[in-house]
Every structure is written in C-alpha cells, then in structure tokens.
Amino acid sequence: MRRLNGMDAYLLYTETPNLHSHTLKVAIVDAGGIEDFGFEQFRTHFARRLHLLEPLRYRLVEIPWRMHHPMWLEDCDVDLDYHLRRVRVPAPGGRRELDDVISRIASTPLDRGRPLWEFHFAEGLAGRRYALIGKVHHALADGVASVNLLARAMDIVGGDVDESDPGDGGAVPSASELLAEAGRDHVKQIGELPGLLKDAVKGFTRVRHRARERGDHPDLADNFSAPATFLNHQVSPARRFGSAAVALADVKATAKALNVSLNDVVLATAAGALRELLQRYDGGADEPIIASVPTATNRSPDRVTGNEISGLSISLPVHIADPLERVRLVAVATGRAKEDHELIGPELYCRLMTYLPTAVAPAAFTWLSRRDGRNKMMNVAVSNVPGPRMRGHFAGAPVSEIYSTGVLSLGAAVNITVWSYVDQMGIAVLTDDRTFGDVHEATDALVRSFAEIHSAAGLSGQLAVVDAALPAVSADR
C-alpha cells in the first residue's frame, strides 16, 4: 500500500461529472512494413510488459469516513479484457476521424472501482496504421512519469527487454488497518506543519519583496488577474480533441535564432494562436492573459508514478501584434515566473496540498464546477513535455508519432499540450464542446502562429512536412 501524496489526492478530488481527471497518451503505430501486427499481437506485448508498468496495477482504496487521502493497493490483478479495448476509426481513416474517436474516449470518466486506466486499440486508419489511445488518471502519473511509463511500455531500439507474466494480486487491508495507518500519517503531518507554515511565510514574503523590486510591467498580466474571455466558462462534460505535428528541427532552429528556450517558443506560439482565436470569438485581444504551465520537481528517469509537480503562472502577450515582441515578452514573463517559483520553494505547492481537508474537498470542488464564475488564476493550460528521443516499437511495429494532453480546469476550457518525440513535436488541444465551432481551429492557429515566428526569426522556406505523421487537417475541411 502507498498513500497518495497531496497533489495526487488533489487531482482525485477535483474530478467532477464535468471535469474529468484522466490524461491521454496517443501513439500512432505504422505497421506498413510488418506482416503480422494487430490487436492480439499488441495485447500479448502489453501483457508481457505489465509487470514493468507498476501504476497500472494500482487500485484506489478509500479510507473509512474519509479520514485521510486514499491509498493505492499495489500489485492488483488486472483484467486485460476490460482494460484493453478495440475501437474502429471511420473511413477514410485520417487524422480528423481519429481525433473524433479520441474525443469520444476522452468524454467519459474512468471507473474508480478498477485500476485507473484504459488502452483503446484503434483500427481502420489509412496506410496500415493503428492508434494506441491510453487513458490514464492524472492521479497515477504526471508528465515526466508518463514519459518514463511509455518508454517502458515500448520496445526502444538498443534497450533492454525485460518481459514476464504478471504476478499475484495484493490483498485489501481491513478498515482498522487503514484507520491505524491514517492515524500514524496524521501524527507525522502534525509534526511537519510548523515547518511548512514557516517555509510558506518565508517564500511568499520573498516573492512579494522581489515583485516590489521589479515593479509593474505594462505588458504583463498580474497574478490572479486573468481576464474574462471566451476560453473561460463552465466546462461541459463532452470533450473535443485536435492534433497537429511540426518538425522538431524547425522549433529548435527558431529558438536558436531568437536566443530563447524551446519552451519560450512553445508559449509564444500559444500566445499568437490565442490572439487569433480571441479576435475571432471575442472581437479583440486587448490585454494579456494567463497560462498555467506545469513544471516537474522530480525529473528522475526511473520515476513512473506520482505527481511531483508545481505550476508557473505565465503572462501570454496576446495583445501584441508583432511576433518577435511576443517572444521577447514571453521570455521576460517566464524568467519572472521561474524566479518566483524558486523564491517560494519549488515543492511548497505539493506540500500544501497534503493538508487538503479530505472530508469536504470532493464536495467543494463539485460545487465549484457547477458555477459559471471566472477563474482568476488562469485562462488556459499550456504544457511542453520532452518525450522519448529514440523511436519506440510495439510488437515490432514502429511508433511514428505521439500526442498527449492533460486535463481541463475549473472555468478554463482549453488545454494545449506539446510532446516532442524523436524528430517531431506533437501538438494536442483538448477542449469541451462549447468553446470552438471546430477544435481544429485551434490546431490550425497554433501551426500558423509558429510559422509566423519561424519566418520573423529570419528562417527561410516553408515549415518542414513531418513525413512520418498523419496528413494534416484543417477546420475548413
């Protein structure tokens, strides 16, 4: 047994009927050169790797009377007939049809009575391609853990293969054992509380002093001042998923030419795309908005479970027309956010989440999810996750592209996630069915925004076509 940490528990408590807390990992497999590949081969491959994927064998155990955060029961039996599912992508089997299938899969919550994951094996893609659509509860793994988990699930050329049949399942502790363990943990938490409060006061004081030294910046949004936009409303239960791919070499070349980080290019790309969408839906983009950007506090390549993350609040200059000025302002905003994050303490947020009131937190978040109020903390979530650099395989078939997305938050109906994989960056947008007429309006805008930055950086030529990826689709077709 292992206790969920505060962030794991938070991601569990914030799940409501309209705010699902599962993430998606989509791997496109190109079986054109493989004679014998299909669902049964994938199922055999997965079953032989399951012992390496520890969190997929966890099952949630609630503590009686919610006296503490839940626990994971480890080494549980897994019914692969339930967790591995076959779906069919309608003809003609392109990116739009696949994105529609992923949208439907994303729209339903996971069953908390079972290990919190599903894998959908999507058949019917053109060119003997298949899609493996992983649906994993965020409480099980953050972005870094998910990358490591996916690497274990795949064959990596040159890597060691360690296969075996799953072992026996674990036994559920009695109610008295669960309560006794909860009591011991509470005693430990009480002892740690004075130190946490001291660190919190010091951290917030340092941030306040530094903010006064820096002064206000007219083109950066203040924290907790996210403006009202079409992106921000009560989120509906239905999900819409859209994807696109750009060449990683183009992104790296752009970052190098502008002397900024790759993450700065991603955020500036999001700012340009959201500027276009705000002008279309709100009639203007007159002030900066706020992006919530998760950041890992533990990047160990061996970690495959848990959420060891914090968050940066970064101003996106959607009100600026010049793409190079947007890049510059994003770099300034990111630098300030990172400095504040270090001053306050990278792990403070996770530590504070440990003290969420377990008896009332789920009901409180459910009540909040039903309100149509503004989210003053954020307008949009933007993530940039470095994925595997070596090409993976499932049962001998190469993985040609990977997409990932996180969750939607209270009053924030758009999540933009970029995952790099080998030679490409997979762009994924998750939203509900109330925000866009077509989710591919957002992916189109993101690709156009990046092309604008790439050109403004003085790099000649069109963006490279990612040959390994499914053909692109647009909102107008």
| Residue 46 included in any domain | yes
Domain check: are 152 and 263 in the same one?
Answer: no
| Whether the predicted model's global pTM rises above the 0.75 cut | yes
Residue 321, φ and ψ in degrees, nearest 5 = -80, -35
Q: How confident is the model at residue 477, as a pLDDT? A: 57
Task: Report the percentage of the chain scoring pLDDT > 90.
Answer: 87
Domain check: are 226 and 157 in the same one?
Answer: no
| Residue 211 included in any domain | no
Q: How confident is the model at residue 323, as a pLDDT? A: 98
Q: What whole-number distance in Å separates Cα of residue 32 and Cα of residue 127?
A: 7
Task: Report the chain's mean pLDDT, rounded to a whole number.
Answer: 93
Which residues on neighbouring strands pair with residue 321, listed in sequence order? none
Q: How confident is the model at residue 461, as a pLDDT? A: 79
Section 74-81 average pLDDT: 94
Domain check: are 221 and 336 in the same one?
Answer: yes
CB neighbour list of residue 168: distance below 8 Å, 6 or more residues apart: 75, 77
The answer to whether residues 104 and 270 touch, using CB atoms and an 8 Å cutoff, is no
Residue 85, φ and ψ in degrees, nearest 5 = -130, 150
Is pLDDT at 31 greater than 60 in this prediction? yes
Domain check: are 418 and 302 in the same one?
Answer: yes
Q: What whole-number distance in Å separates Cα of residue 91 and Cα of residue 271?
A: 35
Task: Note the pLDDT tens digit of each residue in 132-147.
Answer: 999 999 999 999 999 9
Domain check: are 270 and 355 in the same one?
Answer: yes
| Residue 200 included in any domain | no
Task: Note the pLDDT tens digit of each residue in 300-329.
Answer: 989 999 999 999 999 999 999 999 999 999
Domain check: are 157 and 257 in the same one?
Answer: no
| Residue 361 included in any domain | yes
Section 216-229 average pLDDT: 93
| Residue 277 included in any domain | yes
Question: CATH number, domain at 351?
Answer: 3.30.559.30
Token pair for 402:
């990977």
Q: How confident is the model at residue 30, as a pLDDT? A: 96
Q: What whole-number distance in Å separates Cα of residue 145 and Cα of residue 142?
A: 5
The answer to whether residues 118 and 83 touch, using CB atoms and an 8 Å cutoff, is yes
Domain check: are 276 and 340 in the same one?
Answer: yes
| Residue 212 included in any domain | no
Element (H, E) at 349: helix 348-353
pLDDT tier at 170, thresholds 50, 70, 90: low
Q: How confident is the model at residue 158, as a pLDDT? A: 42
Residue 82, φ and ψ in degrees, nearest 5 = -90, -45
Domain check: are 288 and 414 in the same one?
Answer: yes
Q: Which of 121, 146, 162 is the last residue of a domain?
A: 162
Higher pLDDT among residues 174 and 440, named by residue: 440
DSSP-assigned states of every residue in 214-241: H---TTSPPTT-PPP-TT-SPPPS-EEE
Domain check: are 273 and 370 in the same one?
Answer: yes
Q: How confident is the model at residue 125, as a pLDDT? A: 97
Q: Which residues carry out catalysis?
A: 138
Domain check: are 148 and 25 in the same one?
Answer: yes
Domain check: are 136 and 222 in the same one?
Answer: no
Domain boundaries, position 147: 2-162
| Residue 428 included in any domain | yes
Domain check: are 244 and 143 in the same one?
Answer: no
Overall number of domains in the chain: 2
Sheet bearing 117-125, strands edge to edge: 84-88, 117-125, 129-137, 22-30, 397-405, 392-394, 155-156
pLDDT tier at 159, thresholds 50, 70, 90: very low
Task: Note the pLDDT tens digit of each residue in 327-376.
Answer: 999 999 999 999 999 999 999 989 999 999 998 999 999 998 888 777 88
Section 220-244 average pLDDT: 95
| Residue 201 included in any domain | no
Residue 289: strand, helix, or coil: strand
Question: CATH number, domain at 109?
Answer: 3.30.559.10
pLDDT tier at 163, thresholds 50, 70, 90: low
Task: Note the pLDDT tens digit of each residue in 376-422.
Answer: 899 999 999 999 889 999 999 999 999 999 999 999 999 999 999 99
